[in-house]
């Protein structure tokens, strides 16, 4: 058990470190290729920050633990809103200024709807996975098209004053190092978590919804806190919206292609409604409350919802 706990903690650490290197390398590569800052923010960074979830889900599916991957995808979305957004708003109130985020939010909700329709039969097969990834490609194309029409680009969340952009060779090396570190972290985290689940009698799905989901959301938490410190609150919210979209399409799609599997009805009766409810609550707070602001009370509410959900799962 001690070795399993060490493996989980070591895997989480490697995921955070690997995600940081991978994001840095991905953004630098895109800039060297002449991709606009807006497109980087909406696509490259969104995919990069979802790499921990994707790799953890892929490793879990390869080991025949597709339930962990499903729990990771849904649980990460719940953690991104309840834990990441809640903690960030509690740290500092978030003032929303960008109208671009409204379109991102709509696209994220569309991704959730597509995933729900494919999951209604309580089975995720290879055809479902292909449809999810095809939807991801179409949505990236849509985002890029919208981005090119936008009058004011959304910052990608990278501090341009921190120094010059690394050259293409260094950027690719950073991506490679980040990917290797992420892979190692994903392997450690999944194996340690599976051992703990068996030891304490917790299902693979719950492990994916709790410890793995929280662990793979740590990069988003760090990115959001840093964005608030730099007074870039749109980035903090955009980071969560983009990550949740990729979780629904990429993180859910890859594992079911690797190992198609059925899942329990609790996913549709408990976990998906919680995720959808928190998503709508976030949308109301951000766009429809009339204040364009998420204050500390709203952040505390989101955190309380997340804590209550975790307690429900583990008791």
Reported as a single tens digit per residue, the pLDDT across 185-226 is 777 877 787 787 778 777 888 888 888 888 777 777 776 776
In this structure, is residue 58 part of a structural domain? yes
Q: Report if residue 54 sits inside a domain.
A: yes
Residue 33 belongs to a domain:
yes
3-state class of 293 per DSSP?
Answer: strand
Picking from 14, 109, 6, the residue whose alpha carbon sits closest to that of residue 55 is 14
Q: Which two tokens stand for residue 274?
A: 């919680």
Q: Please report where in the chains the tokens 């940081």 appear, as a residue.
A: 20
CATH of the domain at 257: 1.20.1420.30
Which residue range(s) make up the domain with 212?
2-154+164-314
Check if the beta carbon of residue 98 is closer than 8 Å to that of residue 156: no
* DSSP strands (E only) in the chain: 94-95, 123-124, 261-262, 293-294
For 35-66, what is each residue's pLDDT tens digit?
A: 655 556 556 666 766 777 888 888 888 988 88
- Is there a domain that residue 159 lies in? no
Q: What is the pTM of this model?
A: 0.80
**Residue 312 to residues 87, 274, 305: CA-CA distances in angstroms?**
20, 11, 11
User: Per the structure block, which two tokens stand in for 52?
Assistant: 């921990």
């Amino acid at each position: 058990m001690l070795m399993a706990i060490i493996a989980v903690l070591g895997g989480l650490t490697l995921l955070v470190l690997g995600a940081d290197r991978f994001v840095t390398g991905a953004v630098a590569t895109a800039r060297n290729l002449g991709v606009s800052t807006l497109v980087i923010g909406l696509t490259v960074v969104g995919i990069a920050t979802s790499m921990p979830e994707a790799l953890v889900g892929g490793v879990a599916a390869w080991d025949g633990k597709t339930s962990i991957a499903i729990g990771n995808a849904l649980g990460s979305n719940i953690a991104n809103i309840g834990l990441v957004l809640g903690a960030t708003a509690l740290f500092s109130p978030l003032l929303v200024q960008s109208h671009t985020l409204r379109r991102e939010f709509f696209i994220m909700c569309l991704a959730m709807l597509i995933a729900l329709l494919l999951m209604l039969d309580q089975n995720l097969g290879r055809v479902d996975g292909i449809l999810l990834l095809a939807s991801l490609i179409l949505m990236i194309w849509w985002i890029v098209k919208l981005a090119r029409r936008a009058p004011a680009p959304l910052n990608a969340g990278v501090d341009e004053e921190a120094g010059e952009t690394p050259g293409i060779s260094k950027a690719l090396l950073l991506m490679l190092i980040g990917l290797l570190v992420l892979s190692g972290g994903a392997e450690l985290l999944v194996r340690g978590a599976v051992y703990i689940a068996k030891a304490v009698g917790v299902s693979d799905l719950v492990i994916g919804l709790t410890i793995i989901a929280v662990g793979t959301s740590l990069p988003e938490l760090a990115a959001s806190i840093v964005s608030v410190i730099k007074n870039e609150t749109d980035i903090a919210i955009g980071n969560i919206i983009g990550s949740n979209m990729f979780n629904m399409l990429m993180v859910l799609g890859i594992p079911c292609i690797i190992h198609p599997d059925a899942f329990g009805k609790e996913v549709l009766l408990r976990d998906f409604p919680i995720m959808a409810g928190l998503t709508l609550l976030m949308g109301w707070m951000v766009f429809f409350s009339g204040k364009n602001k998420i204050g500390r009370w709203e952040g505390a509410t989101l955190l309380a919802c997340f804590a209550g959900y975790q307690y429900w799962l583990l008791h």
